[in-house]
């Protein structure tokens, strides 16, 4: 009886240690840009948000219907968003319809950013308190959602969009959407 307790005393911590090692090892080889989203295949959640430039103007989820588009989540406090912004302007120049969602930010700073760096967004939403971001499962900025013409989220990209990533991977996803 004493031997079996001694074995259990040694075995339980070993099993816990091995399980922890498994999850840590698995995490080393996961791609942080590939965060699963429970919303893939679902419509954008209902919302009402102000236009960033005109607070009296409000938008709802109907803006995501009618054409395929990108919803780009960004903020002035995000250095990666700054790095990504030039390429978003290039995509918009190629005819990619992009809706921007300024996330948990200061409206005045955001407008200055868009004025100084050019505004690639067809529509600019202002999500001051982050509620739509929360509903979308946003972890931070930048994140980009690929939304088809029916308003259904087809893909979620975490991190910046850039020319290499767009050409190697994301342009095919975008092209294959309805």
Give per-residue pLDDT as tens, 128-146.
999 999 999 999 999 999 9
Query: Cα separations (Å) of 125 from 49, 81, 107, 146?
Result: 6, 16, 10, 16
Task: Measure the CA–CA gap between 32 and 4, rounded to whole angstroms.
Answer: 43
Cα end-to-end distance, the chain, whole Å: 67
Q: Where is pLDDT greater, at 57 or 28?
A: 57
Identify whether 35 is preceded by a cis peptide bond (ω within 30 of 0): no
List C-alpha distances in Å: 167 to 60, 83, 173: 31, 17, 10
* pTM across the whole model: 0.80
- Tokens 């999850």 correspond to what residue? 23
User: Average pLDDT for residues 168-175, to the nearest whole number?
Assistant: 97
Confidence of residue 39 (pLDDT cuts 50, 70, 90): confident
Find the mean pLDDT for residues 134-162.
96
Q: What is the pLDDT of residue 29?
A: 47
pLDDT at 61: 97
Residue 164, token pair as written in the block: 């290499």
Q: Kindly state the tokens that stand for 94.
A: 């190629």
d(CA 101, CA 143): 10
Q: Could you give the CA distance from residue 122 to residue 103 in angstroms, rounded to a whole number?
A: 17
């Amino acid at each position: 009886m004493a031997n079996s307790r001694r074995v259990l005393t040694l075995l339980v911590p070993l099993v816990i240690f091995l399980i922890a090692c498994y999850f840590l090892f698995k995490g080393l080889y996961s791609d942080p840009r590939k965060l699963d989203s429970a919303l893939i295949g679902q419509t954008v959640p209902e919302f009402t948000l102000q236009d960033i430039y005109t607070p009296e103007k409000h938008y709802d989820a109907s803006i995501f219907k009618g054409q395929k588009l990108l919803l780009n989540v960004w903020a002035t406090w995000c250095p990666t968003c700054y790095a990504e912004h030039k390429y978003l302007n290039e995509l918009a120049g190629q005819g990619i319809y992009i809706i921007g969602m300024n996330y948990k930010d200061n409206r005045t700073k955001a407008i200055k950013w868009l004025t100084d760096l050019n505004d690639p967004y067809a529509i600019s939403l202002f999500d001051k308190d982050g509620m739509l971001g929360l509903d979308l499962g946003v972890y931070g900025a930048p994140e980009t959602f690929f939304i088809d013409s029916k308003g259904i989220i087809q893909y979620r990209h975490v991190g910046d969009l850039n020319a290499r990533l767009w050409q190697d991977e994301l342009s095919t996803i975008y092209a294959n959407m309805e």
